[in-house]
A and B are shown apart, each in its own frame.
Chain A
Amino acid sequence: MSPILGIYASQISGHLVTNNYSSISTVTVGSGGASSITFSSIPQTYTHLQIRFNGNISSTGNSFQMQINGTSPTAYWHYLTGDGSSTHAGAVSANQIKLYGAYAGTTAYPTAGITDILDYTNTNKNITVRTLAGSDGNGSGEIQFTSGLWINASTTITSLTINPGAGTFTQYSSFALYGVR
Chain B
Amino acid sequence: MTAGATYVPIATQTLGSAVSTVTFSSIPSTYTDLILVFTGSVSAGTGTNFTLNGDTGANYSLTYIYGSGSSAGSGRGSNQSNAGYEYMPTANAIHTNITHFMNYANTNTYKTILMRLNGSTVQASAQANLWRSTAAITSIALSAPSANWNTGSQFTLYGIAAA
A binding-site residues for B, Cβ under 8 Å: 1-2, 4, 6-12, 16-26, 41-43, 52, 54, 56, 80-87, 108-114, 132-143, 145, 171-172, 174, 176-179
Contacts and interface: CB of A to CB of B under 8 A. Distances in A.
Nearest to A110: B112
A52 B102 contact: yes
Given A16-B9, A136-B62, A179-B3, A109 B130 contact: yes
Contacts of A26: 32, 162-163
B87 interface: no
Given A86-B74, A137-B130, A24 B3 contact: yes
Interface of B: 1-17, 19, 22-27, 32-33, 61-66, 72-76, 78-79, 100, 102-103, 106, 108-114, 116, 126-130, 132, 156, 158, 160-163
Contacts of A4: 13, 19, 22-23
B137 to A, nearest CB: 13
Nearest to A176: B162
Nearest to A5: B19
B9 A112 contact: no
A111 B6 contact: no
A62 to B, nearest CB: 16
Given A11-B12, A82-B64, A114-B100, A176 B32 contact: yes
